[in-house]
Structure 1
Amino acid sequence: MGSGTFRALGHRNFRLYAGGMTVSLAGTWMQQLAQSWLVYRLTHSEWMLGLTWFCANIPILLLSPITGLVADRYPRRRIVLYAQTAAMIQAVILAILTLTGHIQVWQVLSLAVVLGIASAFDIPGRQALFVHLVGKEDLVNAISLNSAVFNSARVIGPPIAGFVVAKLGEGTCFALNALSFLAVIFSLVAMDVVEPPPQGSSETPLERIAQGFRYAWGTKAIRVLLVTAGAASLAAAPASALAPVFAEEIFHRGAQGLGMLSGALGLGAILGTLSLAGRRGAKGLHWVILLSTLGMGGGFIAYSWSSSFPISLGIMTFLGTCIFRQNAANNTAIQTHVEDHFRGRVMGLYSMMVIGMLPVGSLLSGAMASAIGSRWTTTIGGFASLFAAAFVYFHRRTLQTWLDL
């Protein structure tokens, strides 16, 4: 359906999705920055920053095998709609507690868990929905544009959040995020999606979950891609979880500096993912994954020891290009050839690796930073990326065979 970088937008359903998600994700990024800043303002604890990320993402690690099965069993659009509605309710409660001055750290952590549960259902459902929005012909383009949408919101949301937090406080950011969910809820309701009925099965849910694990583990290329995704996510955790420490204590730029760092990362991500959007097939993506993971390693090490805020903004732009180019290429490599009746379960495992590893990495990052400092902790993340790149290089022929199918 057409050609070029933005051809997936030729599909009405994907246009609705992209428009609604851009608004909603901008609000989500605003909340994420404001939440980190709120926790750091209340506690001044690197450990608590790590614990906050842990609470927000641990449900994804624990529940994704189940929610992946749900995405294979029930209408995916409906799953995403319910999950987005639950996330909106969570944002409303967080806004009310903060604006009324009753917010406490334990409440932030509890609501982060609630959001994590909603995300555990949303991510595999949303990833498995793409093929029904654009068809297989434009699936590669849709995945790349989705990542660009995600990171366009990252460019818009955090700088606005930094300004709003500095002028109006965290509660206003939470309220704006709650309003932003209306855009994506409207877009999902307005879609006209035809989803094939799920395949009947006499197996129990546990047997079907185990079947998904066996399929993913038994397909060597998927196994390699999932391990790479998990390793890259762990490696990126220190820079994400400790960003408020770099913004406040190292660069002395406060909440607005934190927003600028996050925005720079998002700008790089847009550049990286749009460069993939013009591809029609998956051939050669193993080299994209390898070089991007290698770039992550060098970027994290450089960022961890930079003393210049402008240079660090440039490094973050480079890191955004590498991180999200690797992520989009990995996602595309899996989705292009995965069997559709396993798609939800495999994407559940993928979300475990990409998002679910963040709580582990964040908790480790907070503990390590308390012991050896934020700079050394981020450096270790850089070396972890280099090891992940070596792993991809070792399995390059397996990936090439899979991608050439």
Structure 2
Amino acid sequence: MPASHGFARIFQILGQRNYGTFTLGNSISLIGTWMQRIASGWLAWTLTESAGWVGAIAFADLFPCILIGPFAGAAADRWDRLRVLKIGQLLGFGQAFLLAILYAMDVLTIWPLFLITLFNGFVTGGLQPFRLSITPRLVEPQWLTTAIAINSVNFNLARFVGPAAAGLIIATGGMGWTFALNALSYLVFVVALGFVRLRPQQIARSGKSFGADIVIGLKHAVTMPGVNAILLMTVVSGICVRPVLELLPGWAAQAFHGSSSDFAALTSAFGIGAIVGGLWLATREGTRGLAGIVVWSNIGMCATLLCFAASTRIWMALPLAMLTGSCMVSAAVSGQTLVQTLVPDELRGRVLSVLGLVMRGSPAIGALLLGVASDHFGMRLPLITGVAVLLGLMLYFVVGFARFRAVLEDGY
């Protein structure tokens, strides 16, 4: 199918049966996931009134990716990716259904919430390389940039719709319904996956053990020029500034003296900005210019977060949250697209597992560290410190930008 230009590309790729079906099911599942995240974060705050515990719940959700990610990456280069995704959705259904039952029985305290979230973190972390590496099997190569951008729009649209729906459901029907509806959303995705047919792929089997394959993938990720730079940016951003999203319950309640509605509004504002950034990238073709977007989007994110940290009212913070979300997604999607185009297919699952590991694992560490720091120093100072660290790294890449761009976009 010949590729169109501009926004016509978005409609054309969504009309492709496999990608469109996968995206529809994934959208519904992600909305349910964000509903549960909002409910879990707010429940942790109401049970403890501690930013440290909110950070711990985010840690339980994100950190398991570090432990299971490398193994899952090697598995993604060996196992049936579609079948594993189906099994993972069924496990996700189980944990969401259990949360709904425990909440209905009024026995869902902070420790069961933490442990179930930890289990789901292992499931989600294990599925991450399968989810990332399946995209090239859904579309032709000329559609890859658009597909990755729409995946990000999909995720961030859920970040907007999920919190809005969660806020409405919590206010009218109770928090337990968010867990129950998330369980249902997993089943919808399982049905959608049943209609997906992947493009044929020939993967050269290494004949090595899982352990050897893991080492090869890690070595390739950290030594390949360009890929290692993207990973470094992702790690520093994830630890230093990305946890602002996981700590939004504390920002809404402590920094802006708001309620669950303000929390949902902040989360949605980040999501709206991210959708705008993702849609803009979805209209682009090729990789030319993406290196500049990675660098300057990170710098723009630093600038808007400094203003966000200085805000004293929720109405001041909301537009800054939208700008931050747009910069954050522009940097992330551009970086992931560049990595996808640089990595050979036989190593795709393993290298993308490392990218997925730092995308989920570094915010987990950051959420825990910044959450504890916020209990002692307030919400603002830890975020400002993190922004300063990331800004210093990005200035280093500005100085050496010509070489950075050549490695990523020209392959040398």
State TM-score, norm by structure 2.
Answer: 0.95
Q: Indicate how the Cα distance of structure 1 residues 205 and 162 shifts in structure 2: closer, same or farther if over 3 A, else same.
A: same
1:53 is aligned to 2:54: no
Query: What is the aligned-residue RMSD (CA, Å)?
Result: 1.4
Between Structure 1 and Structure 2, how many residues are aligned?
405
What 5-or-longer segments of structure 2 have no aligned partner? none
CA-to-partner distance for each residue in 1:265-295, whole Å, 9 max, x for gaps? 0000010011111122111111101111001
Aligned to 2:113: 108
Moved more, 40-49 or 229-238: 229-238
Distance in 1 separating the partners of 2:352 and 2:130: 8
Aligned to 2:404: 398
Q: How do 1:244-393 residues align onto structure 2 when only pairs under 5 Å count?
A: 244-393=249-398
CA-to-partner distance for each residue in 1:227-286, whole Å, 9 max, x for gaps? 111111112344123211221223233111111111110000010011111122111111
Aligned to 1:203: 208
What 5-or-longer segments of structure 1 have no aligned partner? none
Query: Is 1:270–1:321's contact at 8 Å kept on the other side of the alignment?
Result: yes
Q: Indicate how the Cα distance of structure 1 residues 182 and 390 shifts in structure 2: closer, same or farther if over 3 A, else same.
A: same
State TM-score, norm by structure 1.
Answer: 0.97
SS at match of 1:49: helix
Distance in 2 separating the partners of 1:131 and 1:245: 38
Question: How many Å apart are 1:174 and its aligned residue?
Answer: 0.8
Distance in 1 separating the partners of 2:104 and 2:324: 35
Moved more, 15-24 or 314-323: 15-24
Moved more, 211-220 or 43-52: 211-220
Identity %: 30
Query: Is 2:89–2:187's contact at 8 Å kept on the other side of the alignment?
Result: no
Aligned to 2:165: 160
SS at match of 1:138: helix
Question: How many Å apart are 1:63 and its aligned residue?
Answer: 1.2
1:218 is aligned to 2:228: no
Distance in 1 separating the partners of 2:399 and 2:94: 46
Question: How many Å apart are 1:380 and its aligned residue?
Answer: 1.8
Distance in 2 separating the partners of 1:26 and 1:336: 29
Q: Indicate how the Cα distance of structure 1 residues 194 and 286 shifts in structure 2: closer, same or farther if over 3 A, else same.
A: closer
Moved more, 294-303 or 198-207: 198-207
Q: How do 1:28-177 residues align onto structure 2 when only pairs under 5 Å count?
A: 28-177=33-182
Query: Is 1:241–1:365's contact at 8 Å kept on the other side of the alignment?
Result: no
Query: Is 1:251–1:307's contact at 8 Å kept on the other side of the alignment?
Result: yes
Distance in 2 separating the partners of 1:252 and 1:164: 22
CA-to-partner distance for each residue in 1:18-64, whole Å, 9 max, x for gaps? 11111111111111010000011011111111111111111101111
Question: How many Å apart are 1:182 and its aligned residue?
Answer: 2.0
Query: Is 1:297–1:381's contact at 8 Å kept on the other side of the alignment?
Result: no
